[in-house]
A and B are shown apart, each in its own frame.
Chain A
Amino acid sequence: MTFLQLDQLGKTFGDFRAVESLSLHVERGEFVSLLGPSGCGKTTTLQMVAGFVEPTRGRILLNGTDITATRPEKRGMGVVFQSYALFPHMTVADNIGFGLEMRGMPRAERLRRIEETIELVRLPGLGKRYPKELSGGQRQRVAVARALAVRPEVLLLDEPMSNLDAKLREDMHVELRGIQRHLGITTILVTHDQVEAMTMSDRIAVMHGGRIVQLATPYEAYERPDSAFASTFLGKTNVLRGTVEARNARCCEVRVGDALLHVPHEARDFAREVNVYVRPEKVRLAPADAGSGVAGTVRTRLFLGNHWLIEVDSALGPVRVSHPNIGPVPPAEGDAVAVQWHDDDLRILDTEAIHG
């Protein structure tokens, strides 16, 4: 059953259309990410759900009730802000208890809930501190605790990790996801970080130009992007421009340079000019004399710890290869190699889709 429903939501600032007819159904307890670059309308969408921004069109329904015109203080949302927006003049405990106090919870119960929430986000003993006496990571936990303490109908996270360093961010992804599952809180996350969206979400809404261009599980969205934008924004990919020469029941034959690629078309129609996509981690390096694959030369080779990033100048154009750090060191710059892949790992999209 749909718990939170955004129905053809739109927001215009002057001439600028920040969000265009956006519809989204979120199930109870589900974690949905709005993922996109800055200016794609994701934050505006979140602010409309929170009630800080009034939509110019469309409706927001929470549990069947229209809350489009409801004031933010009556919506019962819990928001974690990018800047955390903690109250600097209140202690950690008072910050966390603020929402409970506003809801008129009796003092004894409130103190118990504050203690419980402090435990939940693992900040024991810091209740009497002031925000400025905490580290960035601790402040972030307080912001999360403050939002969770009120047991919100919906938890809204506005780029909550963008002020944390990379290591801390990874830990928080796992932890926050754990807490969200544990409490079963319906959550919307706004982020431009695709790793964050993928690790935490049940579904990802990839946004571009004020619209949702793809709504799918992280695996689906990554493996079967249905637009050029989604395929390049979500992870890295190689784009090979080609022309469709033939088509059978399962595959298109696409000519890219001198080579003929067999790409599964998944029963979709394409124009003659197409782009073929292949993810760097799905490309393998083979010896130049292997007799299979496309021949090329290693242009750059970068060591990134868990893998090597290798760029090969091939007959198809430059191809990026993500080579796992297993076995011997891969060929050096200037070496002749061949690149191979499974035909099933190739994706095909119309060239005009590159703008949409």
Chain B
Amino acid sequence: MASASTAAVLPRSGSAPWLLSAPALLLFLGLLVIPLALTAVLSFHSFDGTRGVLPDLTGRNYLEVFSDPYYHEIFLRTAGLALAVTLLSVLFGVPETIILSRMKAPWRGIFLIVILGPLLVSVVVRTLGWAILMGNNGLINAALQALGLTDEPVRLLFTMTGVVIALTHVLMPFMVISVWASLQKLDPQVENAGQSFGASPFTVFRRVILPQILPGILSGGIIVFALAASAFATPAILGGRRLKVVATAAYDEFLSTLNWPLGASIAVLLLIANVIVIAGFNRYLERRYRQVFES
């Protein structure tokens, strides 16, 4: 009797689970693992201006990226961009989510759609929209000048500032969704509890609310960081030709210089850097906030 019930609870062995997940696995294998492996292999080939890609094995491409200050700058710029976007999305996204979670019935849904809106618009359209807004004669500068806040137009287009603003705008929803999920798990009475024991609203936020939604903020941060670090269209359009990030640099090697192996090695390095940052951070998080995560 007891053994029969135990057997029923155990996961079924056999081919069924494999068969059921086969379509997804094949898709994953064909569209992600194989191209990624081919890119990795490609990055070890050398390239000749006249003969194209040569079928040898060499670490020269990596050596070039590591030794050339030009690439150092691009990687540092990308890291800075991703960090700035992440910090800004925390700074704006967390209060935004808290306000959102306190809204009443119709408004909450409306504003949630407003916040998620950027994700529903094509990246090219959205970015061109920003370009129009940010231009020297664009709406933002016109408004700033009309208000007398500045005499000369503020340069936004083709600057890091512009790229950071536009990326923060589109990546904010990921932060909001992540913080939203952790806010939903909060006992609505803990805030009252904190207050009844003599904590001011600010102290309640700092000591009671924030520690409980921190895992949500941090995991939202990971998503935003990863997407910002590998963003392509926004830096390409708003950053212009000179303000390169890793993704646009790899693109240029592939399509302008036609040096595929070098482009591949840049792409692989971006992937590795991203994985290291995310995995390392994630591990730190899980250790640090074990208590909150396992509830």
Q: Which of B141-149, B189-197, B222-230, B276-284 contacts A (4 or more CB under 8 A)?
A: B189-197
Over the window 318-352 of chain A, the binary record of Cβ atoms lying under 8 Å from chain B Cβ atoms (1 yes, 0 no) is 00000000000000000000000000000000000
Look across to chain B and name the residue whose beta carbon is closest to the beta carbon of A77.
B196
CB neighbours of A71 from chain B (8 A): 195
Look across to chain A and name the residue whose beta carbon is closest to the beta carbon of B289.
A89
B294: CB under 8 A from chain A? Answer: yes
Chain A interface size band reads: 20 to 34
Q: Does B189 contact A85, Cβ atoms closer than 8 Å? A: yes
19 contacts between A and B (CB under 8 A): A50-B196, A51-B196, A52-B192, A72-B195, A73-B197, A74-B198, A76-B198, A79-B192, A79-B193, A81-B192, A83-B187, A85-B189, A86-B190, A88-B292, A99-B198, A102-B203, A103-B198, A130-B291, A156-B196
CB neighbours of A89 from chain B (8 A): 211-212, 289, 291-292
Look across to chain A and name the residue whose beta carbon is closest to the beta carbon of B190.
A85
Look across to chain B and name the residue whose beta carbon is closest to the beta carbon of A87.
B208
Contact of B199 among A50, A51, A73, A156 (CB under 8 A): A73
A110 to chain B, nearest CB (A): 13
Which B residues between 264 and 294 are near A, CB-CB below 8 angstroms?
A: 289, 291-292, 294
- CA of A102 to CA of B201, assembled, Å: 12
Q: Does A88 contact B193, Cβ atoms closer than 8 Å? A: no
CB neighbours of B292 from chain A (8 A): 88-89
Over the window 151-181 of chain B, the binary record of Cβ atoms lying under 8 Å from chain A Cβ atoms (1 yes, 0 no) is 0000000000000000000000000000000
A146: CB under 8 A from chain B? Answer: yes
Which A residues between 69 and 99 are near B, CB-CB below 8 angstroms?
A: 71-79, 81-83, 85-89, 98-99
CB neighbours of A87 from chain B (8 A): 190, 193-194, 208, 212
Q: Does A73 contact B291, Cβ atoms closer than 8 Å? A: no
B200: CB under 8 A from chain A? Answer: yes
- CA of A323 to CA of B266, assembled, Å: 87
The chain B residues found within 8 Å of chain A, CB to CB, are: 187, 189-190, 192-200, 203, 207-208, 211-212, 289, 291-292, 294-295
A264 to chain B, nearest CB (A): 47
- CA of A88 to CA of B214, assembled, Å: 13
CB neighbours of A188 from chain B (8 A): none
A132: CB under 8 A from chain B? Answer: yes
- CA of A184 to CA of B190, assembled, Å: 26
B82 to chain A, nearest CB (A): 28
- CA of A50 to CA of B192, assembled, Å: 9
- CA of A71 to CA of B198, assembled, Å: 9
- CA of A172 to CA of B114, assembled, Å: 50
A150: CB under 8 A from chain B? Answer: yes
Given contacts A87-B190, A132-B291, contact A79 B198 (CB under 8 A): no
A164 to chain B, nearest CB (A): 17
Given contacts A85-B189, A85-B192, contact A146 B291 (CB under 8 A): no
Look across to chain A and name the residue whose beta carbon is closest to the beta carbon of B196.
A79
The 7 closest A-B pairs by CB, nearest first: A99-B197, A102-B198, A85-B189, A85-B193, A79-B196, A72-B195, A89-B211
- CA of A74 to CA of B200, assembled, Å: 9
- CA of A280 to CA of B289, assembled, Å: 56
Look across to chain B and name the residue whose beta carbon is closest to the beta carbon of A156.
B196
Q: Does A88 contact B198, Cβ atoms closer than 8 Å? A: no
- CA of A150 to CA of B197, assembled, Å: 8
B102 to chain A, nearest CB (A): 14
- CA of A156 to CA of B197, assembled, Å: 12
CB neighbours of A86 from chain B (8 A): 190, 193
CB neighbours of B187 from chain A (8 A): 83, 85
Other A-B contacts than A98-B194, A99-B197, A132-B291, 8 sampled, CB-CB below 8 A, are A71-B195, A73-B196, A73-B198, A78-B196, A86-B190, A89-B212, A102-B199, A130-B291
Look across to chain B and name the residue whose beta carbon is closest to the beta carbon of A82.
B189
CB neighbours of A76 from chain B (8 A): 198
- CA of A160 to CA of B208, assembled, Å: 21
CB neighbours of A52 from chain B (8 A): 192, 195-196
Look across to chain B and name the residue whose beta carbon is closest to the beta carbon of A132.
B295
